[in-house]
Amino acid sequence: MAKPSTPKELRNAVALTYQANGRAPKVVASGKGLVAEQIIELAKQNGVHVHESKEMVALLMNVELDQEIPENLYRIVAELLAWLYKIEALKQPDLS
């Protein structure tokens, strides 16, 4: 007898924004399942890098929409932003 298939693990997604004059990044979108898939697809369509970290997403899912991330997440999000800036810099043509 065939073993019943287990449902695909639901994905979670959180979108952050950061303004240079802001105090901390803000959560601008979050969701599970189909909503998460839509957040990820919109990000990709708009050239936004998608970083996959279940642990980070789990922590950020607790932050309300349009709220700044809590201080205990500053370091990990700062490391993520530094990674993104580095990727963006590598994509820029060398004008020297």
- What residues does each domain of the chain span? 12-91
Domain 12-91 homologous superfamily, CATH: secretion proteins EscU (3.40.1690.10)
Mean pLDDT on 74-83 = 88
* pLDDT tens per residue, range 2-60: 444 434 568 999 999 988 888 999 999 999 999 999 999 999 999 888 888 899 999 99
pLDDT at 83 over 90: no
Nearest to 32 by CA among 48, 12, 14: 12
Q: Please give the pLDDT value at position 96.
A: 57
Report pTM. 0.76
Residues 74-93, mean pLDDT to the nearest whole number: 85
